[in-house]
Amino acid sequence: MATGIEPSPQAGATGVHAASRAAIPARHLRTDRWWLAPACTAAGLLAFVVYSTWRAFANADYYHAPYVSPFYSPCLAENCHTMRGGPNWEIFGSWWGLSPALLILIFPLGFRLTCYYYRKAYYRGFWASPPACAVAEPHKKYTGETRFPLILQNIHRYFFYFAVLVALVLTYDTALAFRDEHYAWGHMGLGTLVFLANIVLIWAYTLSCHSCRHVVGGRLRHFSKHPVRYRLWGWVGKLNERHMLLAWCSLFSVGFADLYVYLLATGAFADPRFF
Q: What is the pTM of this model?
A: 0.88
- Sorted by sequence, the CB contacts under 8 Å of residue 262 that are 6+ apart come out as 55, 61, 62, 69
Residue type, 139: H
Q: Provide the CA 126 distance to its chain's centre, in angstroms.
A: 16
Kindly state the average pLDDT of the residues 16-36.
Answer: 76
pLDDT at 72: 96
Kindly state the average pLDDT of the residues 242-251.
Answer: 97
Reduced to 3 states (helix: H, G, I; strand: E, B; else coil), residue 59 is: coil
How do residues 66-101 score in pLDDT, each as one tens digit?
999 999 999 999 999 888 888 888 889 889 999 999
What is the residue-averaged pLDDT of the chain?
89
Residue 108, φ and ψ in degrees, nearest 5: -65, -30
How do residues 38-47 score in pLDDT, each as one tens digit?
999 999 999 9
Beta-sheet strands, E only, within 2-92: 63-64, 67-68, 75-77, 88-92
Query: Using CA atoms, how far apart are residues 202 and 10, in angstroms rounded to an integer?
Result: 51
Q: Which of 27, 10, 28 is nearest to 19 (CA)?
A: 10
For residues 274 and 194, is the Cβ–Cβ distance under 8 A?
no
Percent of the residues in the chain that have a pLDDT greater than 70, as a whole number: 91
- Predicted confidence band at 30 (pLDDT cuts at 50, 70, 90)? confident
Query: Using CA atoms, how far apart are residues 80 and 93, in angstroms rounded to an integer?
Result: 10
Reduced to 3 states (helix: H, G, I; strand: E, B; else coil), residue 273 is: strand
Q: Is the pLDDT of residue 133 over 90?
A: no
- Predicted confidence band at 144 (pLDDT cuts at 50, 70, 90)? confident
Query: Residue 118 half-sphere exposure, CB side, CA atoms within 13 Å?
Result: 21
Reduced to 3 states (helix: H, G, I; strand: E, B; else coil), residue 35 is: coil
Which string of DSSP letters, residue by residue, matches 109-153? HHHHHT-HHHHHHHHHHHH-SSSBTTB--S-S---TTSSTTGGGG
For residues 236 and 215, is the Cβ–Cβ distance under 8 A?
no
The H or E element that residue 250 is part of is: helix 243-265
Query: Using CA atoms, how far apart are residues 108 and 71, in angstroms rounded to an integer?
Result: 9
Query: Using CA atoms, how far apart are residues 211 and 160, in angstroms rounded to an integer?
Result: 7
